[in-house]
Chains A and B, each alone.
Chain A
Amino acid sequence: MSLWEYANPKKFMQTSGAVLPWVAGLAAICLGTGLIWGFFFTPDDYRQGSTVRIIYLHVPAAMMAINAWAMMLVASLIWLIRRHHVSALAARAAAPVGLTFTLIALATGALWGAPMWGTWWEWDPRLTSFLILALFYLGYIALWQAVENPDTAADLTSILCMVGSVFAVLSRYAVNFWNQGLHQGASLSLDQRENISNVFWLPLVISIAGFVALFVTLVLLRTRTEIRARRLSALIARERLA
């Protein structure tokens, strides 16, 4: 029993079909609990008032936006090294989801920035690097759509993902250098003394778990769709030959 068994599309379809409802249920439960708890049953922050509740959407979306790219990077590497089609399709499936999370993080951040910082947008390092991340997602998705041969598209996007990762990290630190910004630092780390209060922490962790489960659900679902689409086009091609 090895992990690579799931590289077989048939095996992947069986397993993912069985797992999918559970992950979807987990996502629904966690998101429901985390968001409802966070939105209605937490006290107001003493300085931010009730706008602090945006955190339950903003932070998980931002975390998943970055993690989605990391997942695409791993899937691309697997495709380049072991040439498993499922892996390439999973990377393709994850990109629009990651882009959506990036946009959610940017939009909620703007909504939060308007009352708190007095501005919708600021050329702050974190904000800027997220905007650049959104551009990377756009380019990646556009390249997938532009190349006709699916294997070539998978190859080229994998390389773009690898090079893009390096440049995304570079940009992240380059903008740091350029402007120090308004965004607060990390306040969820386990090893720091100044962290977010427990009242806010628990629902936040639950909604982060919910976002992770949501991401897994969407990627599985979209990968299954991609596999079916691939089978369909194979069938059509076979019909045409016969």
Chain B
Amino acid sequence: MIALLIRDLKLAFRSGGGFGLGLAFFLLVAVLVPLGVGPQGGTLARIAPGILWIGALLACLLSLDRIFALDFEDGTLEILIPSPLPLEGAVAVKALAHWLTTGLPLAVAAPVLAVLLHLPASGLPWLVASLAIGTPALSMIGAFGAALTVGVKRGGLLLSLLVLPLYVPSLIFGAEVVRRGAEGMAVGTPLAFLAAITLGSAASLPFAAAAALRMSLRQG
């Protein structure tokens, strides 16, 4: 399990693209929005929580198809199925590796971009906290979506159509945490919901994703 995690992390770092790309995309979103909306600080501060969360969502989405596609092409997935590690565990590890290479860096980089968007300083810790708590769910849901589309040729667009509606609850609660944090209100409730979604997906979606993977591979 740990070997698989290390392997996935190494691949993500060394193959280039995947790791830095998500971050760069996140940066671009945060830079482009003020260019489109105009530089008024008040407006930017108000929409900053939503923009940052949507940016994180899309940055996550970018690298989702890498979770299984490469391993599917070179046959690694077929070796993983009969291996002693249950496929559910392998899926969870791959989602974890995806989170470590996209979600976690996003959460770390977010405060810098939040300053660009004039997010009040009181919101910064909550921004980091909400991204750190919420993005594991994005990786897990994304792994499920990637498992569904792994056998589909040119499944990238289909993947976003399947996955984005599933991101709705995380987006709503995540942005709500940041907004309330920035306005100095209590953030406990949305933060608890956000954590609940993450824990719920981590507990149940590996089974759904593993089942989908087995089904996709059986046809081959």
B168 touches A160 (CB 8 A): no
With a cutoff of 8 Å between Cβ atoms, the chain B residues found around residue A170 in the complex are 168-169, 197
Known: A174-B168, A177-B172, A178-B176. A159 touches B212 (CB 8 A): yes
Closest Cβ neighbor of B172 among chain A residues: A174
The verdict on A146 contacting B165 (CB below 8 Å), with A159-B208, A159-B212 known, is: no
Number of interface residues of A (CB under 8 A): 27
Most B Cβ at <10 Å: residue of A132, A142, A159: A159
Chain A min CB distance to B85 (Å): 21
A167 near B169 with CB under 8 A, answer yes
A149-B219, A163-B208, A177-B172 known; A142+B148 contact, CB < 8 A:
no
Of A138, A155, A163, A175, most B-chain CB atoms within 10 Å: A163
Interface assignment of B55: CB less than 8 Å from any CB of chain A? no
With a cutoff of 8 Å between Cβ atoms, the chain B residues found around residue A162 in the complex are 208
Say yes or no for A51: interface residue by CB 8 A criterion: no
Counting residue pairs across A and B whose Cβ atoms lie within 8 Å, the total is 79
**A167 and B212 contacting across the interface, CB-CB below 8 Å:** no
Whether B168 and A152, one on each chain, are in contact in the complex, defined by CB atoms closer than 8 angstroms, is no
Mask: chain B, 144-166; 1 = CB below 8 Å from A; 0 = not:
10001101100100100110111
Cβ proximity bits B168-190 to A, threshold 8 Å, 1 near / 0 not: 11001100100000000000011
Identify which of residues 134-162 in chain A touch chain B, using a CB-to-CB cut-off of 8 Å.
135-136, 138-139, 142-143, 146-149, 151-152, 155-156, 159-160, 162
In whole angstroms, how far apart are the Cα atoms of A56 and B90 in the complex?
Answer: 51
Interface: A210 (CB within 8 A): no
User: How near does chain B come to A95, taking the closest CB pair, in angstroms?
Assistant: 14
On chain B, the residues within 8 Å of A135 by CB distance are 161, 164-165
Contact: B151 with A147, CB < 8 Å?
yes
A156 touches B212 (CB 8 A): yes
A168 to B97, CA, bound (A): 27
Tell me how far the C-beta of A106 lies from the nearest C-beta in chain B, rounded to whole angstroms. 15
**Residue A171 is within 8 A (CB to CB) of chain B in the complex:** yes
A142, B161: Cβ atoms under 8 Å?
Answer: yes
- Are A132 and B165 in contact (CB-based, < 8 A)? yes
Chain B residue with the shortest CB-CB distance to A133: B165
Judge whether A163 and B216 touch: CB under 8 Å.
no
Q: Bound state CA distance, A138 and B161, in angstroms?
A: 8
Pairs of residues from A and B, 8 with the lowest C-beta to C-beta distance, nearest first = A155-B215, A174-B169, A135-B165, A149-B219, A170-B169, A139-B162, A171-B168, A152-B219
Interfacial residues, chain B to chain A (CB-CB below 8 A): 144, 148-149, 151-152, 155, 158, 161-162, 164-166, 168-169, 172-173, 176, 189-190, 193, 197, 205, 208, 211-212, 215-216, 218-219
A-B contact pairs, 28 of them (CB 8 A): A142-B161, A143-B148, A143-B158, A146-B149, A146-B155, A147-B151, A147-B152, A151-B219, A152-B151, A152-B219, A155-B211, A156-B148, A156-B216, A159-B212, A159-B215, A162-B208, A163-B144, A163-B166, A167-B169, A170-B168, A170-B197, A171-B165, A171-B169, A174-B172, A175-B172, A177-B172, A177-B173, A178-B176
